[in-house]
Structure 1
Amino acid sequence: MSPVEVDLQLSDGFADLGAEGLDLAIRIGDLPDSNLKAKRLGALRRVVFGAPSYFARCGRPAHPFQLSEHSCIIRTANECPGEWTFQIDGKPRTVKVAGAFRSNLMTSVYAAAIHGLGLGFSPLWQIRHLVDDGLVELVLTEFEPAPVPIHALWQEGRSSSAKVRAFLDLLASRLELKSL
């Protein structure tokens, strides 16, 4: 079998596989109805995190409603900036947050959190290395929102179906997305 070749195209928007000549897309989030084939790869956790220096200075929130007393780092590119979702009393609840630092890029949010400017909210897989290195710590884990599904999507009947199958097999053998 020949090795899988990957041409990675990144976008926060939805790609039109046919129009853009793409064989496969990875989508994070609930899937709308479509004529695409899908394979669930796993789900990701969304977490609140901050630097030890921030917690030493400002304390740790024990409940999402206490976030109004904390400086939160807002990602402005989100659909609803300044609104974070949690599971409270078994139901999804939106909590309004605010802070002095806002950015459209997650790399800036991570840098600000590492430097103690406030609390961030992100998929865990994107900050796992920061947690493992002790640069940030998780809080409010008992209130995490429901995990967000991750799917691979492709068009049925495309001439590239063998390539799609080979890539899906590669994903299944190499990634452990179930625990993100």
Structure 2
Amino acid sequence: MGAPMLFGPDFLVPIVAEYIESYPQAEVDLSLTDAFVDLASEGIDVVVRIADLPDSNLQSKRLGALRRVVFGAPSYFARNGRPEHPAELRQHACIVRTIGNRPGQWAFQIDGKRRMVGVRGSFRSNAMAAIYSAVRSGLGLGYSPLWEIRHLVDAGQVEIVLQEFEPKPVPIHALWQESTRPPAKVRAFVDLLAMRLRLDDL
């Protein structure tokens, strides 16, 4: 099976463990990558993807949706205040991920429409781990899927702002190759995923 790099270890591996316990003869080869791989050429039975899905010949089951949030350290807010509208981010230090289609462009829902807001700051990185460390250190504000920073929020190391302007959540799906009836092993795993994943707070 395949899954995104950061999502797989924390969210999928415990479910894989339960699956193998229920089906001791099963073997699972988990490939972690953020690239959209071709299932047939890579020999993958089922993949979890976090994205709006393009038209394809794959079957899918929606597992939920994931929030994207702006967050910062209490020390940053103490020095600089909290933005109350996305337009105010232009006056804040923002930590930009340097890879992707539109670096320095953060999506929001403003007046009922999706809007992109340009941001900048003195620190940039291609790695989310470095961005999270920089935010914790008070260098600026970050923008990320909530599930990736939930542990920081719960620990009080960062706080979320601009919740009322969050863009529409990104859907998460399980995908498998099209057939009139998916193999029993795929069907069993997808059913278990749907039961065990709890994504409402993410």
Fold shared, TM-score > 0.5 on shorter chain = yes
Q: 1:39 and 1:179 mapped to 2: Cα distance?
A: 19
Q: 2:61 and 2:201 mapped to 1: Cα distance?
A: 16
Q: Which residue of 2 aligns with 1:41?
A: 63
Q: 2:110 and 2:158 mapped to 1: Cα distance?
A: 24
Q: Which residue of 1 aligns with 2:23?
A: 2
Give CA-to-partner distance per residue, 1:157-176, whole Å, 9 cap, x none: 39972121121122122211
TM superposition score normalised by structure 2:
0.85
Q: Which residue of 2 aligns with 1:12?
A: 34
Query: Which stretch of structure 1 is more off in the superposition, 151-160 or 138-147?
Result: 151-160
Q: Which residue of 2 aligns with 1:58?
A: 80
Unaligned runs of 5+ residues in structure 1 are none
1:151-166 matches, within 5 Å, as 151-157=173-179, 161-166=183-188
Q: Which residue of 2 aligns with 1:126?
A: 148
Distance 1:119 1:99, change over 3 A: same
The answer to whether the 8 A contact 1:41-1:178 is kept is no
Q: 1:172 and 1:150 mapped to 2: Cα distance?
A: 11
Q: Which residue of 2 aligns with 1:173?
A: 195
Give CA-to-partner distance per residue, 1:81-130, whole Å, 9 cap, x none: 00001011111000000011111111111111001010000000110110
Q: Which runs of 4+ in 1 moved over 3 A?
A: 3-6, 157-160
Residue type of the alignment partner of 1:121: Y
Give CA-to-partner distance per residue, 1:143-167, whole Å, 9 cap, x none: 0000111111000239972121121
Q: 1:5 and 1:85 mapped to 2: Cα distance?
A: 40
Q: Which residue of 2 aligns with 1:77?
A: 99
The yes-or-no answer on 1:107 pairing with 2:136 is: no
Q: 2:199 and 2:29 mapped to 1: Cα distance?
A: 20
- Equivalent residue pairs, number: 180
Give CA-to-partner distance per residue, 1:51-85, whole Å, 9 cap, x none: 00000111111100000000101111222000001
Q: 1:78 and 1:137 mapped to 2: Cα distance?
A: 25
Q: 1:29 and 1:178 mapped to 2: Cα distance?
A: 16
The answer to whether the 8 A contact 1:49-1:139 is kept is yes
The percent of aligned pairs where both chains have the same amino acid is 67
Q: 1:58 and 1:165 mapped to 2: Cα distance?
A: 51
Residue type of the alignment partner of 2:127: L
Higher relative contact order (CA 8 A, sep 6+): 1
Residue type of the alignment partner of 1:140: L
Distance 1:159 1:17, change over 3 A: farther
Q: 1:173 and 1:104 mapped to 2: Cα distance?
A: 34
**1:135 alignment partner, one of 133, 153, 157:** 157
Q: 2:186 and 2:132 mapped to 1: Cα distance?
A: 33
Task: Describe the SS at the equivalent of 1:32.
Answer: coil
The answer to whether the 8 A contact 1:71-1:119 is kept is yes
Task: Describe the SS at the equivalent of 2:190.
Answer: helix
TM superposition score normalised by structure 1:
0.94
Unaligned runs of 5+ residues in structure 2 are 1-21
